[in-house]
Each structure stands twice: as C-alpha cells, then as structure tokens.
C-alpha cells in the first residue's frame, strides 16, 4: 500500500490553488451580478436537466464552478484542498487536473439521468472523485472524523459512498447524491485504467 510523507509537499500546489481562486471568484461574481440584475449567470452556467429545454453542453463544465451559498462553497473548497493537495503532489498537476475534470463532467452526466432533477451546481462530484482517489491511493492513512475519531481512508470512502447511495435512494433532500456517486464512479474507472496502463501519456 502506498504511504506518503507530506513534509516535502507543497501545501497549495498550482492546480488546487487555481481551482480555489476560480471557484471563489465565480461565486462572488454570481452573487454581485445577479443581486444587481446585470446577468443571470446561474441560468447560463448551472447544469440544467435536458427536459427543461435549457440544457447546454458547456454546462457540464461550468456547473462545477457554481455554488448555491457560502456553506456549499466552503465545504467543497475545504475538501478540495484537504485531499487535493496530497494527490496533486503525488500525481503531478497535469494528471490531477485531468482527473478532476473527468470526475466533475462524469458526475454531471450521471445526474442528467436522474428523473425529475432540475438544476445542479457545485464541485461536489469532482470532490467526491478526489476523495475516492485519496482512499484508493492512501488506503491506510488515517482521517480524523469530526477532528476526533481516526478512521482509515479506505473505510471513510466506503462509508461515504454507502451514505450517498442510501440518501439518493431513500431521501429527497435537494442534494445531488447521484452526482456525487457519479464522480466517484468515473474516478474509479479512470484510476483502474491508469493502473492497467501505467505508461499512459500522463
């Protein structure tokens, strides 16, 4: 099993830093421009369900940088930094960015298949993909649940996936649980491909 030593790692590598900046700027721009009625960024950039007639192909990319409120963006960005900086240092920036985008777009595609869903925003699908990658790459690293209870990363990831599946099947709470699972699914497929083809262009 792979272990890591964070002493030699950058705490804010290039891709993670730029993703944090882009997400925060987009959130602030959305709040300001929509509050004063200049432009409805959400209608253009959020992921709209196909039956609404407002779906556009670019939304599979832009929705990842939209967030509903401060709590939404804070927890997504915190998780992106917490797990993402380790993976970017370990994989390299190019591979990490490709993985992040694949998970985010894959999450959006999966959520388009959910009946009755309206608008989707947030980096959660890509972040859940990062969480899965951390658990697969560093399965025995300990994560402190609620900053108190240590749990191995592999069990943390499995537990989160199970919770998302149960919530998606049995609870209508306005959260895109199947987008989260979709990000993990596409992340899993990509990691398995890389393990089978270790000498890919990355």
Residue 54 in tokens: 């407002």
Q: Are 39 and 26 in contact (CB under 8 A)?
A: no
Kindly write down the DSSP assignment for every residue of 45-83, as one continuous string: HSEE-GGGT---TTHHHHGGG--SSHHHHHHHHHHHHHH
Give catalytic status of residue 124 as yes or no: yes
Give catalytic status of residue 200 as yes or no: no
Annotated catalytic residue: which of 43, 72, 180, 197?
A: 180
Q: Are 93 and 101 in contact (CB under 8 A)?
A: no
Annotated catalytic residue: which of 43, 67, 124, 197?
A: 124
Residue numbers annotated as active site: 124, 180
């Amino acid at each position: 099993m792979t272990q890591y030593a964070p002493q030699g790692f950058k705490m804010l590598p290039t891709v993670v830093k730029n993703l944090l900046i882009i997400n925060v700027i987009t959130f602030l721009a959305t709040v300001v421009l929509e509050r004063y009625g200049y432009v409805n960024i959400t209608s253009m950039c959020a992921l709209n369900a196909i039956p609404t007639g407002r779906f556009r192909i670019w939304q599979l990319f832009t929705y990842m940088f939209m967030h509903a409120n401060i709590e939404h963006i804070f927890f997504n960005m915190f998780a992106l930094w917490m797990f993402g900086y380790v993976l970017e240092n370990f994989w390299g920036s190019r591979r990490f960015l490709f993985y992040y985008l694949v998970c985010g777009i894959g999450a959006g595609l999966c959520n388009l298949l959910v009946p009755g869903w309206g608008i989707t925003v947030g980096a959660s699908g890509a972040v859940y993909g990062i969480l899965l990658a951390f658990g697969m790459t560093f399965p025995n690293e300990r994560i402190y649940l609620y900053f108190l209870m240590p749990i191995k990363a592999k069990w943390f990831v499995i537990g989160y996936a199970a919770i998302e599946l149960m919530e998606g099947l049995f609870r209508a709470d306005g959260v895109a649980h199947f987008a989260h699972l979709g990000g993990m699914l596409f992340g899993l497929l990509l990691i398995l491909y890389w393990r089978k083809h270790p000498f890919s262009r990355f």
